[in-house]
Amino acid sequence: MPLALRAPGIGKGRGVVEPGGLSFRAAGPDDVHAVASLQADSWQRHYRGAFSDAFLDGDITGFLLPLWTDRLSRPEPRARAILAEQDGQLAGLAYTLLDEDPTWGAFLDNLHVVHWLKRRGIGARLLSLTRQAVRDWSPSSGLYLWVLEQNAAARAFYAAQGGVCVERNDVPPPGGNPANLTGKPMGLRYVWREGPAR
């Protein structure tokens, strides 16, 4: 399988299987629609007030499909896309670009868990697998992500996982269109110097 879809212990035809029907595997082209739908649902639940209602009430899955089609059909060698599944159904996703920043290291661009499956440790496990993927690539690499300042629950989760907020900056508008924003939302950079705690 392409290097870009490899994750620690996760390869084509195999994955990490854990108790309770939870499993993890590399994402691939067949997962495009499900992943786009998961991110769309996450945005619609958590980005209201930062992204405009007109944008969020539109076809967000359709907006995200080209991105995920490109990512999962023609993957980057430095990308790691890890899916969580509960009893064979999508439960979460972590998508990371390795060596993305010379200072902060790997960029965890997406970490989403299906809403009704939150608080079951899925996000923490995806973060742990991401940490291992980063270390497998470069043991000295850090890990970072951006989170909306208004997303208090996500901020608390990242802090509990050992993340440290080091920067505040403007949120770029989705699609490059300022009309897709509400006001001037801010994003926070959370970092793990050598990956999050296990």
pLDDT at 114: 96
Q: Report the C-alpha gap between 33 and 65 in whole angstroms.
A: 7
pLDDT of 2 reads: 30
pLDDT at 50 over 80: yes
Regarding the domain delimited by 3-192, which CATH topology (the fold level of the hierarchy) does it fall under?
Answer: Aminopeptidase (3.40.630)
Beta strands 164-170 and 143-148 are unpaired
Q: Where are the alpha helices (DSSP H) in 10-148?
A: 32-46, 53-56, 60-73, 122-137
DSSP 115-180: GGGTTSSHHHHHHHHHHHHHHHH-TT--EEEEEETT-HHHHHHHHHTT-EEEEEEEPPPGGG-GGG
- pLDDT at position 193 is 86
Cα-based distances in Å from 102 to 80, 106, 176, 193: 18, 9, 25, 12
SS3 183: coil
Give the Cβ contact number of residue 50 at 10 Å: 22
Q: Is the CB of residue 129 less than 8 Å from the CB of residue 160?
A: no
Backbone angles phi, psi at 151, to 5 degrees: -85, 80
Enclosing H/E stretch for 108: strand 105-113
Helix (H) or strand (E) holding 19: none
Interior angle at CA 95, CA 77 and CA 33, nearest 5: 100
Query: What would the pLDDT profile of 16-38 be if each residue is shown by its tens digit?
Result: 766 678 999 999 999 999 999 99
Strands 105-113 and 143-148, how do they pair? parallel
CA atoms of 72 and 176, how far apart (whole Å): 22
- pLDDT tens-digit map of 70-128: 999 988 899 999 999 998 899 999 999 999 999 999 999 999 999 999 988 999 999 99
